[in-house]
Amino acid sequence: MKSNRNLSRGEARRLGNVALIALMLVALLLLSLVRARFSPIDKTGAAIKAEEHEAMAMGKETETLAAADQAATSAAGASAEAEGGGETHPKPAAGASSKPVCYESSRRSDTCEAAGDVRVAGLAQTVYASPLEREWKVKPYCRKQDAFALSHVKEWSLRPLPGPHCTVNSSATAFVLSTGGFTGNLFHDYTDVLIPAFITARRYAAAGEVQFLVSSFKPWWTSRYLPIFQQLSRHEVVDADADAEVRCYPRVVVGPTFHRELGVDDDAAASNTSMAEFRAMLRGAFGLERATATPSGDRWDIRRRPRLLVLSRARSRRFVNERAMVDMAMSLGFDVRVGDPEASSDAGKFARLVNSADVMVGVHGAGLTNMVFLPAGAVLVQVVPFGGLEWLARGAFREPAAGMGLHYLEYAVQLDETTLSEAYARDDPVLRDPASVHRRGWDALKAVYLDQQNVRPHLGRLKNTFMEALRMLPHGRLASEDEPS
């Protein structure tokens, strides 16, 4: 009787373990189904590999689909190895049409692509496509980890057919992107929209031109940059959200691909997608004459003198001693110009002013984005405000300068050169311990060191920086011959 009771207890324990394992398997199956239905982007890396091995083991995939999935996995793995800066390319399935897919094209962007029967209903922010097995959703703006930016970007859906009938047919590739987010700030205009648009449009050059379908359309913004869009496409730019047509295309891409801040990855150069190509495109768009910072061969030409452009600011981070800076630079032989990017409503006119310069100096801010118009071999001088902001200056403008073929110099504002020293006591953490302000978050940092600060560079130190810039130019030798002793 005792042994029989022990046997019953053991059987009960085993039955309980079996039931627990079965429950876990059912829960895992349900979780997989839910993720497959609602995931906003495709899986990458180890997740795809694990699912492939499981699928092959269970015999649920055909050889064709397994091969296509393996190709997608390899591309996703390469993107991960490049720290999110690279681009994954979905491989087409066998047959006349490619398999639609949404994927993480970089650490900052999600992209969806489809080919076959594609119908775009802009009023509904919806793309209908066949073949397509399930619905996908994406916000076509390159700042996907910034919730505030994405709150100003409309979400688009890709859905399987059937859908509405075509009212307009085109042989172009439809390219859906958003001008919501942070557009209106020059830096974000280029790094979040224009350069990614260039990268993506160039990918489809071999398949014909793209047509831009712009969501969160801003008429003034599109008008400002229309010359750039016209360089990338001969088709009209469509206000997608207000478009009552059902536009049909052979293929569509929803969401541009991001590479890096104000830049293009080096490995993209083979497909004529590089910062050199982007800058050449800008010269065509805005009628910029100078590709390189080369002085005129005419010794009587004023262009034989190097030109310095001082970027002026009307609000925070102003040069308090701007007039004295101009006089000092002129004494070194510079032909000096002063311009305020925010005061110019004509993008082309200001681009031509920047292109005429050999050296451009400005305090850290969106205005320095105008470096994209400088000729190769020119010098960018970034004045970094007080407050431990070198890391911010490096990522925004120092690192992109090399990819544009520009020389780069940095002038770091010291305590006695900032107006913050007049607003705070010497022992205040703002002056004594900027790192403590940084630890309070971006809003605190911005409120103090970017919004409250103006600068007064020491003319002696700044003169040394300008003289170093001269030595970097072909003009340097010519200017030094006339430099006062």
User: For 327, which DSSP code?
Assistant: H
What CATH class does 303-482 carry? alpha beta
Domain ranges across the chain: 42-81, 91-284, 303-482
**How many degrees, rounded to 5, is the angle at CA 212 between CA 208 and CA 214?**
165
Q: What mean pLDDT is reported for the chain? A: 82
The answer, yes or no, to whether residue 478 has pLDDT greater than 80, is: no
Nearest to 120 by CA among 211, 42, 203: 211
Can you tell me whether residue 101 is helix, strand or coil?
A: strand
The answer, yes or no, to whether residue 336 has pLDDT greater than 50, is: yes
What confidence score (pLDDT) does residue 208 get? 65
What confidence score (pLDDT) does residue 474 get? 81
Q: pLDDT per residue over 269-294, tens digit each?
A: 556 789 999 999 999 999 999 999 98
* Neighbouring C-beta atoms of residue 207, cutoff 10 Å: 13
Question: Structure pTM?
Answer: 0.76
The answer, yes or no, to whether residue 223 has pLDDT greater than 50, is: yes
The answer, yes or no, to whether residue 207 has pLDDT greater than 80, is: no
What confidence score (pLDDT) does residue 81 get? 32
Terminal Cα-to-Cα distance of the chain (whole angstroms): 115
* Spatial CB neighbours of 266, under 8 Å, sequence gap ≥ 6: 274
Pairing of strands 109-121, 246-254: antiparallel
Q: How confident is the model at residue 345 (pLDDT cuts 50, 70, 90)?
A: confident
Q: Which is more confident, 145 or 372?
A: 372
Q: What is the mean pLDDT of residues 100-128?
A: 91
Can you tell me whether residue 341 is helix, strand or coil?
A: helix
Q: pLDDT per residue over 3-26, tens digit each?
A: 444 445 556 666 666 677 777 766
Q: Using alpha carbons only, how large is the chain's radius of gyration in Å?
A: 28
Q: Which is more confident, 85 or 297?
A: 297
Contact in structure between 112 and 255 (CB atoms under 8 Å):
yes
Cα separation of 213 and 467, whole Å?
Answer: 48
